[in-house]
Structure formats: structure tokens, C-alpha cells
A and B are shown apart, each in its own frame.
Chain A
Amino acid sequence: MNTDLQLVEQARKGNLSSFKILVEQNKRLVYNLAFDLTKSREDAEDVSQDVFVKAFRSLDKFRGDSKFSTWLYRITVNTCLSMKRKKSYSTMQTEEDMNEVIAANEKLSVKFQQVNPERVTESNFIKKNIDKAMQKLSERERTVFVMRNFNELPFEEIVQALKLKAGTVRSLNFRAIKKLQKELSFYNQEPQAEGANE
């Protein structure tokens, strides 16, 4: 059984089939993170390709002091950030990408709709509001939040990937949760609102 480091060393010497193993093992992890950060399937696929090209050209920089996937997360985050900067992402986020999110959600909810039709629109509405609330976070808050809560990476791995201090990662994540709570406070009041009608 080859370890990541062994595969990296073989790839460094030009062994593409070793690198292919690393790619196949990690491409979904990279894609998932890239999708959560860009909210666009197309961008996530482009980023995934870029990440592995960059990783391949920078294999010398991987020293094995973290997992290979952790190293890829760093490249993924940075590639997404620079892609956003290049596209001035924030201005186009609202329309083009939101539509894609909605389209994706609709596609996914077709099955669900057959079972539970009246809840589908409500669920789409919630998702849209969550996406909107996520946009209120700073880049760093969103990145840490996504890594911890969507990709379920332990805090230590985020610390390694982003080369931030442990306390910083934790407080960025907590700050993100607090901001999101404020943005989405509507949902916390729902039970009371129902009661008030009686």
C-alpha cells in the first residue's frame, strides 16, 4: 500500500500513474470544497482541474508534514479566492450563480417533490436565504465555516490547510455562526409566530 508521500515522491520523478492515483483519491474532496466556496458547478470543475495542475507543478513544495488532501485544500481555497477576485465575483454572485444554485436545487428536489410537494418551495426559500446570509460573511469567515461545517473538516486540519492560528480559525468560525444566526433569525422565531395566530 502506497502512502501519500510515496505516491508524491514517485509523481515528482515524473510517474504520472502515481499522480493519477492521488487525483482519483482526492478529486471529489477538492470539488466539494470548491463548489461550496464558488457556488457554481462549472467553476468548481475548473478549479478542480487548476488545483491539480498547480499541485503537480508544486510537488516539490509538499513536504509531507500534513496530509496530501490538506495541502490540496489550501490550494483549492486560494484558487477559489483568486478566481473570485479575477471575476469580481461578488457583483455577479447574485444573478448568474444564484440561478445555478436554484437550478441545481430544483433538479435535486424533483424526487423529493413527488413525496412531499408542499415543502419543496419552502425548502428552496430557506436555501436561498442561507446562500444570501453566507454572502454577508467575510471571505475568511465563509471559508472557515464551509470547511468546518460543510466539509466537516476538524479544526486542526483547517489550521494546517490555511496556516492560521488555532484560535483564529475557531473565532472566525464562531463569528460566522453568530452572523448567520442574526441573518437567519427569522427562522428561530417561527414557532412563536405560529402560536401568535391562535
Chain B
Amino acid sequence: MNSCEKCNLYFDKALYNELNSDEEKYFNDHLNSCDVCAKEYNELKSTLTLISENHERVEPGDIFQTNFWNNLAPKLEKRPSFIDTIITSFNEWFAANRSLTYQLAGGTALIVIGIFLGRTFFSNDLQVNPTHGELSQQQLAIQASAERYIDRSKVLLLGMMNFDPETDDIESINLEQQQNISRELLAQASELKSDLNKPSTQQLKRLINDLEVILMQIANLETEFDLAGIDLIQSGIDRKGIFLKINIQRMSRANSNINPASGNQVKNEKNSI
């Protein structure tokens, strides 16, 4: 690092008088001997001064002073009831309670169409093909790891959907941990996808593709302060209908469990539930 670069590193602290005496001596000596740094620093300093001098506190209206509490108090006492909220502002409510909405909508949708879709949409996915008898050991292993993968992703995504960046603390989402899990899952995705090479597993592969996009976004979030990023992820999960697809996938799995042609291992799993 040359002396100008070192001096530049002190600019930020110098602007707020935070240099210790050694740093300050170095800084001033350098500015006295280097016109380039001196000019650059002075420009930054005078910009800051210009802005500060022209910044004014704008007084709130009189009502703010006199009636702030009176306006606020009724809003504190009245907690929005379920019916109220739906009637008054469904959109607001949807944004704030997306995951709950999702579960309600998803649940209803599943009851009405789930079984039908489950049979048609995923009918061949990872199910025992009666003509081939039981799944091979290898296929069972792939199935198990795909299921684990989807379950872990679902837990992660639910956490993201439940996070309210407006009031929630970062501890409640633990973004760093979520990002580690996302990266871990992303690392597994390509191997898993190449294992899912049968025509019957293409639907599952697409689900893992969808998940991959969202996991990538989570992994790339800079901080939980990145509200736009979190919003993008939350609406992406919504838009892609990820939870519905996961639920359908799970149902088709359940269907295959009660399928008489299923292998013994699957039956055992069902008995143990």
C-alpha cells in the first residue's frame, strides 16, 4: 500500500474526527505533502459541510404536537379482527400474513383439487411401476434424498415467508444460518438433478429447479436489511406456487404408499406413522 492509499483509508475517520493521535499526525503530514489527497479530502469535507449546513429540521404540524397520542391510542386498543381485516384491506393483510394466507389457500385448494391433481400431475413420479415390481435400492436412495432435500427446502422457505422484516429481529430469521443451509442445498442440487434422469422424475426435477432459483436468491441476500431482496424471494415463492407443488408432491408420495403395488419398505414407513 502506498502512502496515498493509506491516507485514503483515513478519510472516513478523519471526516468525523475519529483518528487517534498517531493516525492524525500521519494524515496531516501526508496532506501537507500531497496535493492530490489534500484536494480530494477537502472536497469531501466541504461537501459534508455544505449538506449539513443546508439541512433543516422541518417542524411537524400542530396536530402532531397536540394530538399525536389521541390519534394513536384508538389504534392500539383496536386489534384488527379477522373479518375486519379481510373487509377493510385484504391486500395489506395478504402482504403481512402471506404464509398464513398461503396455508389457508393451499389447504383449500388441496382439499378440492389435490387428490385429483395428485393422481394426474405426479402420477408417475417416483412411484412403483407395477410392471417393474419394486424400486431398486438405488432408486429408493434417490427418492429418499430427493424427499429430504424438498423437506429441508420447505422448512427454509417457510422461515423466509414468516419473516416480517419490518419488526422482526434478525435473530428470528438467523439469515446467516439460512444462507448456509441454502448453499448446502444448492451444492446438492446438481447431483440430485442428474440422478433424477428418468422421464418419470421430470416433474420432481422441475420442482428442484424452481427451488434452486429461490435458494440462490436467499444465498445472495446481502443482509436482512435488503427488503427488496426479501420481498423478491417471498413473492417468488408465491408466484411459483412452490408450497402447493411440494404438497402435491407429498400427496402423490402418500398415494403411492397406499398403492397395493408399493414395495415393502414404503408400506413399513406408512405403518410407522
Write the residues of chain A forming the contact surface with B, with a CB cutoff of 8 angstroms. 16, 19-20, 23-24, 27-28, 31-32, 35-36, 41, 44-45, 48-49, 52-58, 61, 63, 75, 78-79, 81-82, 85, 104-105, 108, 123, 126-127, 130, 139-140, 149-150, 162-164, 168, 170-171, 173-174, 177-178, 180-181, 184-185, 187-188
Contact = CB atoms under 8 A, between A and B. Distances in A.
A162 B55 contact: no
Given A54-B167, A56-B76, A188 B47 contact: yes
Nearest to B71: A49
Contacts of A184: 47, 50-51
B82 interface: no
22 contacts: A16-B73, A19-B76, A23-B69, A32-B57, A41-B58, A41-B60, A44-B60, A45-B63, A48-B60, A54-B166, A85-B227, A85-B231, A105-B56, A126-B50, A130-B50, A130-B51, A171-B12, A177-B48, A180-B47, A187-B46, A187-B50, A188-B43
A49 B75 contact: yes
Contact of A31 (B54, B64, B227): B64
Nearest to A63: B169
A24 B225 CA distance: 27
A158 B101 CA distance: 34
A162 B43 contact: no
A58 to B, nearest CB: 4
Contacts of A130: 50-51, 54-55
A20 B166 contact: no
B44 A177 contact: yes
Contacts of A41: 58, 60-61
For the complex of A and B, 9 pairs with smallest distance between CB atoms: A181-B47, A58-B167, A78-B166, A174-B12, A163-B170, A188-B43, A104-B58, A53-B75, A56-B76
A35 B59 CA distance: 9
Interface of B: 11-12, 15, 43-44, 46-48, 50-52, 54-58, 60-61, 63-64, 68-69, 71-73, 75-77, 79, 165-170, 172, 223-225, 227-228, 231
Nearest to A134: B51
A144 B73 CA distance: 31
A55 B61 CA distance: 22
B47 A16 contact: no
Contacts of B166: 54, 75, 78-79, 82
Contacts of B68: 23-24, 27, 48-49
A164 B170 CA distance: 10
B76 A16 contact: yes
A149 B76 contact: no
Contact of B225 (A45, A140, A174): A140
A146 B57 CA distance: 12
Contacts of A35: 57-58, 60
A23 B224 CA distance: 27
Contacts of B72: 23, 49, 52-53
Nearest to A78: B166
A56 B79 CA distance: 11
Given A52-B72, A79-B166, A163-B224, 13 more contacts: A16-B77, A23-B72, A48-B68, A58-B167, A61-B167, A78-B166, A139-B228, A149-B48, A150-B55, A164-B223, A173-B12, A178-B44, A187-B47
Contacts of B55: 36, 130, 149-150
A159 B36 CA distance: 32
Contact of B15 (A56, A162, A177): A177
A45 to B, nearest CB: 6
B58 A108 contact: yes
B56 A85 contact: no
B44 A181 contact: yes
B52 A149 contact: yes
B262 to A, nearest CB: 47
A32 to B, nearest CB: 6
A139 B226 CA distance: 9
A198 B91 CA distance: 64
Given A20-B69, A105-B56, A180 B61 contact: no
